[in-house]
């Protein structure tokens, strides 16, 4: 998931005046222009497998920017700048996180981001700087990793024949932390009908369900235009994955999204039965070019943006993350990366991270199959 997303998905949330947006955009464009362009990656070198017990020293030795679809560590300039836009809005003396094992102010997060920013020109030739300049705070006892991507959903902005399935905006009476209507009540009993809460109307309810899991995506309109859509809250009910539901019923063997979609396509009369057993429901808001994470109108990037529980790993954190991910060529490949907590998700709690995998075929594949444990560290400037 968001379920991306985040996500993931998260994988996933929207969290500003016109002047601020102009200045932030100008800054981001300048930084992006200074960095080298990301390299398209079809398959990564398998490399040595990630171990939950590996040390920061070994992890750093195996770090490769190419595994995050980059040609250089300079390509982190954009994500760093985006995180700084968010972190600088906060009271720098206030605590961003205060829990056993991790206590940081927003000022410390900003200092960590600017330190990494200053090191980018040197990291390609000297990755030891990751160790020399940062304290690696381990997330114990490790992280459960999943992935999310940005799916395309066929939709119309008005209800019409062939487009009958509503995608809802956040209701004004939704209160964070309190349970709202369940999925069965929203979809089956139409509790939100006739309240002008429909953002758009989708052609396929299965697409909408998996959009909720990813947390963000794009609407594909009949005229070919795409409008991005992003997570804007959930109904407060506990999430239960459709894969788990279908495995418990003996309907699937693997339970991955590909297998789920095929089964649901062949059994349309049982779609609501499966979906209603997951009482969690996600609300959205329209975006622009997207996909956006939880930092506002800031576009997130594949393999760099991570969805975290902000009460466990705060937005703006830099995270060294490692996990063995599914790969169509090698079966599994080691992914060690430097990521940024830029998204959240209704199912992302405590020791879970959702990696944003993009919107291409490889991202879809990884997000559909990734469910593995691995190490993670929050980096804090020394």
What is the pTM (predicted TM-score) of this model?
0.68
Asked whether residue 141 falls in the same domain as residue 33, the answer is yes
| Domain range enclosing 272 | 240-277
pLDDT of residue 8: 35
At 275-305, the pLDDT tens digits run 999 999 999 998 766 678 889 878 899 999 9
Reading the block at residue 242, the tokens are 């459709």
Distance CA 320, CA 142 (A): 12
**Are 139 and 180 contained in the same domain?**
no
Looking at the fold, whether 217 and 247 belong to one and the same domain comes out as: no
The pLDDT, as a whole number, for residue 228 is 86
Give pLDDT, residue 259: 86
What DSSP element (H or E) covers 319?
A: strand 318-327
Does residue 39 share a domain with residue 128? Answer: yes
**Whether 286 and 298 share a structural domain:** no
Cis peptide preceding 141, ω within 30 of 0: yes
Residues making up the chain, counted from first to last: 382
Do 139 and 40 lie in one domain? The reply is yes
The reply to whether 53 and 177 lie within a common domain is no
Identify which has the larger pLDDT, 113 or 2. 113
Residue 5 inside a domain? The answer is no
8 falls within a domain: no
The rounded percent of the chain whose pLDDT value lies above 90 is 68
What pLDDT, on the 0 to 100 scale, is given for residue 297?
Answer: 77
Mean pLDDT of 151-162: 93
Which 8-state DSSP code applies to residue 287?
A: -
Instruction: Identify the CATH number of the domain in which residue 187 sits.
Output: 2.40.240.50
CA distance 308 to 128: 26
Euclidean distance between CA atoms 167 and 122, whole angstroms:
46
Is residue 14 exposed (0-12), middle (13-18) or buried (19+ Cβ within 10 Å)?
buried
Give the pLDDT confidence score for residue 288 in this predicted structure.
Answer: 67
Number of compact structural domains in the chain = 3
Same domain? 304 vs 367? yes
CB 4 within 8 A of CB 216: yes
Q: Confirm if 74 and 361 have CB atoms less than 8 A apart.
A: no
Sheet holding 134-138, edge to edge: 134-138, 376-381, 318-327, 331-343, 305-307, 352-356, 143-148, 371-374
Query: Is residue 2 included in any domain, yes or no?
Result: no
């Amino acid at each position: 998931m968001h379920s991306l997303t985040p996500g993931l998905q998260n994988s996933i949330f929207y969290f500003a005046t016109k002047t601020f947006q102009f200045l932030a955009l100008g800054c981001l464009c300048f930084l992006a222009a200074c960095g080298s362009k990301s390299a398209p990656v079809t398959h990564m070198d398998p490399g040595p497998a990630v171990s939950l017990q590996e040390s920061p020293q070994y992890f750093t030795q195996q770090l490769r920017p190419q595994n995050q679809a980059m040609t250089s560590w300079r390509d982190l300039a954009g994500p760093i700048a985006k995180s700084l836009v968010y972190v600088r809005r906060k009271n720098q003396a206030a605590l961003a996180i205060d829990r056993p094992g991790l206590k940081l102010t927003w000022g410390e997060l900003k200092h960590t981001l600017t330190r990494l920013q200053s090191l980018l020109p040197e990291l390609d030739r000297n990755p030891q700087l990751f160790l020399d300049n940062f304290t690696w705070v381990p997330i114990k006892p490790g992280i459960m990793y999943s992935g999310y991507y940005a799916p395309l959903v066929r939709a119309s902005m008005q209800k019409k024949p062939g487009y009958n399935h509503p995608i809802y905006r956040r209701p004004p009476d939704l209160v964070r932390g309190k349970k709202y209507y369940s999925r069965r009540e929203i979809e089956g009993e139409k509790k939100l009908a006739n309240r002008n809460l429909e953002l758009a109307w989708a052609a396929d309810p299965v697409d909408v369900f998996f959009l909720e899991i990813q947390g963000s995506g794009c609407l594909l309109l009949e005229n070919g235009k795409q409008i991005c859509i992003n997570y804007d809250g959930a109904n407060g009910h506990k999430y239960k994955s459709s894969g788990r539901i279908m495995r418990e019923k003996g309907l699937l063997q693997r339970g991955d999204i590909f297998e789920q979609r095929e089964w649901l396509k062949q059994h349309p009369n049982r779609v609501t039965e499966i979906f209603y057993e997951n009482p969690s429901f996600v609300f959205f808001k329209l975006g622009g070019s997207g996909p956006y994470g939880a930092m506002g109108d800031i576009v997130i990037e594949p393999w760099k943006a991570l969805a975290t529980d902000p009460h466990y790993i705060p937005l703006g954190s830099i995270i060294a993350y490692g996990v063995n991910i599914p790969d169509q060529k090698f079966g599994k490949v080691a992914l060690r990366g430097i990521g940024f907590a830029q998204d959240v998700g209704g199912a992302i709690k405590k020791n879970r991270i959702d990696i944003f995998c993009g919107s291409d075929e490889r991202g879809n594949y990884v997000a559909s199959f990734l469910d593995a444990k691995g190490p993670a560290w929050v980096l804090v400037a020394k």
